[in-house]
Amino acid sequence: MLIKNVKVFTEEKTFEDGEIIIRDGLISEGEGEAGEVIDGEGCYAIPGLIDIHFHGCKGYDFCDGTKEAIREIAKYEASVGVTAMSPATMTLPVETLEEILATAAAYKKEAVDGADLIGVNMEGPFISKVKKGAQDATYIIPCSKDIFRRFQAAAQGLIKYVGVAPEEEGALEFVEQVKDEVNVSLAHTNAGYDDAKAAYDKGACHAVHLYNAMPPFTHRAPGVIGAVSDSGHVMAELICDGVHIHPSVVRATFKMLGADRIILISDSMRATGMPDGEYTLGGLAVDVTGNRATLVSDGALAGSATNLMDCLRTVVKEMGIPLETAVACATMNPAKSLGEYGKYGSITPGKKGNVVLLDKDLNLKAVIKDGKRI
């Protein structure tokens, strides 16, 4: 495939006029025969997006625990330009989570359509009841390396992130025990600065949806957010759907952390791509109106109803983040965090031929997955 007349996003985070050649499903160098020709008509050509934290879409949830659910989720994600994904679990019984993870591992071996399943983000069950958000407190349990390793065995190594609340008993020991096996993230936590910083000093390296399900950042109590700022090795997720974080805070976060440490996520739930109505998340009833999803029980935010491509548009068009920066935070940064930058995240020879074309208004014009237009 030859994609000509496009503005190609580079590893230097710039756009350059040029063309892209894809052979045998991989980005290729050189010239010559390349099969199908696509005239990009001056569009931006960016790598396929990577969503490392979301729950579902089109009426399906990853925790439905079926191959059908993952398959339909993967198809929808690819249709909006997300060509690789690391969906998130909810807080559920240990045995249920093992079954969900085993299903994901089996799906990965046979998947052919849609976004690639390249990881799982375990948002629970090792979290805080105080900051549980839309998680079911019934199934929250203390950190356990043995239970985590049961999860990873069921997933056949697919778990890339595991969330913890560092203020809970045994959490810091857990970080030390598994930090070389998985990215440990601080998630749904009521930790103050000292506990959060201690976890990062011991090897935790990630923050789940920064600002959400954690104490606020204040001048005398900087909390998790301050600990993230002071820990240069930590990557932080941001939900930029226009609901979860004020645009001014998004801009301030980019200034505070720097763009290389920020990963755009959607945190989307099963209502994404569906009409307004009542849905479920982790077994809890959720009301969805527009792009706002809230628990019926107490009105707490319950994930989002916005896909990652729409989040990308929002962060650029409504929050003032440069397109080049936003693209890197939805492609390069997640690929690096996942340990998959050798295959995903940039339009570089040898990497997978996943390319998205956007017009000047960031409307989706084409999605190419493994060198095939979908």
Which DSSP string do the residues of 42-87 spell out, in sequence order?
A: T-EEEEPEEESS--EETTEEGGG--HHHHHHHHHHHHHTTEEEE--
DSSP 296: T
What whole-number distance in Å separates Cα of residue 354 and Cα of residue 346? 9
Distance CA 121, CA 188 (A): 13
Distances (CA, A) of 15 to 43, 84, 228, 285, 327: 11, 22, 30, 44, 11
Q: Which of 136, 267, 359, 361 is catalytic?
A: 267
Which amino acid makes up residue 170? G
User: Is 267 annotated in the active site?
Assistant: yes
Going by C-alpha positions, the residue among 136, 137, 4 that lies closest to residue 63 is 136
Contact predicate 272/266, CB 8 Å: yes
Residue 179 CA: distances (Å) to CA of 105, 185, 340: 22, 10, 18
Is residue 152 helix, strand or coil?
helix
Q: Report the candidate in 11, 78, 25, 70 with the shortest Cα–Cα distance to residue 51.
A: 78
Residue linked to tokens 């969805």: 288
Catalytic residues: 267
